[in-house]
Amino acid sequence: MDGNELLSRLKRLSEIDDPRKDIHSLTYAQFPGTHCPLMGAAMAVRGIDGAVMMIIGTDECSYYTKHMTIYSDDWGGLDGRCLSVTIDQHDITFGCVKKVEAAFAELMAERRPEAVFLVTTCVPEIIGDDFDAAADALSEQYGVPVMAVHTEHFKCENHMPGVERTITACFGLMQPCEQDGSVNVLGQRMGRFEDTELSRVLESAGVRIGARLPSGCTLAEIRRASAAKVNIVVNDIGLPLAKKMKQRFGTPYVFFDKFVEPRHIAEAYENLFAFLERPLPMELADLRAEAEKAAESGKAALRGVSFIYGNTPFRAFEACAFMASLGMEPQLVQCHGIGEADAEDVRQILTHADPYITQSANISPMQYIYDVLRPQLYLGHEYPMRLRKKGIAQVHTDMGGGMLGYEVTGYFVKQLAAAAEEGKNIRKGGAMQ
């Protein structure tokens, strides 16, 4: 495989008119992702205390999820909250709703859970059983909230749709409540929210945290989620639920992702406290000054450093625009798409560079791209020793997944500077081929 030939398939950022058509994969077969949406659904239900997950699928799907949950205290072990309805050839031919109804009757007779997520996998989705209708019927029959979550992998690139669909299904649990001045946190999927800068700022301001989806909450907190004054959306997966709540309950939402640009973090804080009708905490001025100082101090070490962007906890184009503003040179960006929210960052990048754009994230064909572009840094998951042999240093950013606020800026610049220094040592050592 030739790296130049692979690059010839790609368009540069300035050439992307329709992201659905113009962002190409490096291979003809698209990489479906390491994990399927079933894993995402399991991750989300795990954090909802008292909820039961009933998986409907083949024995492989059942084993996969049971093996994942059996050793987790959050799930309750072998007889815990993860159950399965395994379908066979007869069910594939004639449908499996009746089998699910029988299994559900057993569940209600033995346990009587407070809420049940019916999680369908690929085969039930292909044969066409209507589990939305089945969930509604079971909910009416037993007087228990039953939510259908569809986790077919053949339509998804990774496990994130499973998380998104599960927390969006929680909308069916919510009840109208009087506002109590609290905030909900939607979309936190890495780390503990209480360990973030944003959480500390809210606590200092006396703002109570309500439901946290999918990072952990009770069914009672979900039922009362409409009492929140504001929803804080910290990842795109929380947007569908936030929009539903705004439409039904009038709850406004603030998008507060893992921004690295201090200006964007400041805007998020300002919007949040404006909706809360509270003054902006004084400490935020000092936090912003520290972040801007960190960014400025990183320019000397990072100016002229070239990079390929892979998968990180941050927003791809926002992070790349920030790095470009530090004088770094983006050569290629791997992404899942370009949305309206990325428009400003795209314009910012184009004032500095015009990188290639490709779909993420299949690192196998990237090996040939490295030999052509010869980047100094790679951001994302890769094999470090394989990168080192090509004279490339890896930027480690996973710890940033549990951060929110100005703390992200300082951490990100520190990791970039450390990798840039490592890259110098690699090349001095003659590792580059």
The mean pLDDT value of the chain amounts to 89
pTM of structure: 0.88
Mention every residue, 6+ apart, whose C-beta is less than 8 A from residue 400: 258, 312, 313, 314, 408, 411, 412, 415
Looking up tokens 């040939």 gives 368
CATH of the domain at 318: 3.40.50.1980
| H helix intervals, 261-376 | 262-276, 283-302, 316-325, 343-350, 363-373
| Burial bucket for residue 28 (CB in 10 Å: 0-12, 13-18, 19+) | exposed
84 falls within a domain: yes
Residues 299 and 421 in one domain: yes
- Considering the domain architecture, whether residues 9 and 134 belong to the same structural domain is answered as no
Residues 272 and 188 in one domain: yes
Which domain-ending residue is among 156, 174, 203?
156
- For residue 143, give the H/E element and its range: none
Same domain, 416 and 371: yes
pLDDT at 1: 67
Q: Which of 113, 32, 118, 39 is nearest to 80 (CA)?
A: 113
Beta strands (DSSP E) in 121-252 are 146-150, 183-186, 209-213, 217-218, 230-233
- Does residue 37 register a pLDDT over 80? yes
The pLDDT of residue 171: 94
Query: Would residue 169 count as lying in a domain?
Result: no
At residue 431 the predicted structure's pLDDT band, cuts being 50, 70 and 90, is very low
Smallest CA-to-CA distance from 223 within 260, 170, 152 is with 170
402 and 323 in a common domain: yes
- Quick check: 320 pLDDT over 90? yes
Do 52 and 151 fall within a single domain? yes
Asked if residue 312 and residue 238 are part of one domain, the reply reads no
Cβ neighbours, 10 Å, residue 312: 22
How many domains does the chain fold into? 3
215 and 135, same structural domain?
A: no
Look up the domain containing 215 and give its range: 183-276
Q: Evaluate whether residue 164 is within a structural domain.
A: no
Residue 172 in domain: no
Q: Is the pLDDT of residue 432 over 50?
A: no
**Above pLDDT 70, what percent of the chain?**
96
The span from the CA of 139 to the CA of 31, in Å, is: 37
Which has more pLDDT, 132 or 216? 132
Tell me the chain's radius of gyration from C-alpha atoms. Answer: 23
Single out the residue in 219, 247, 276 at which a domain terminates.
276
Residue 116 has a CB neighbour count (10 Å cut-off) of 26
Please return the burial class of 240, using the count of CB atoms within 10 Å of its CB with bins 0-12, 13-18 and 19+: middle
Q: Which of 139, 156, 173 is the last residue of a domain?
A: 156
The pLDDT, as a whole number, for residue 418 is 94
- Give me the pLDDT at residue 433, please: 43
* Chain segment 131-147, per-residue pLDDT in tens: 889 999 999 999 999 99
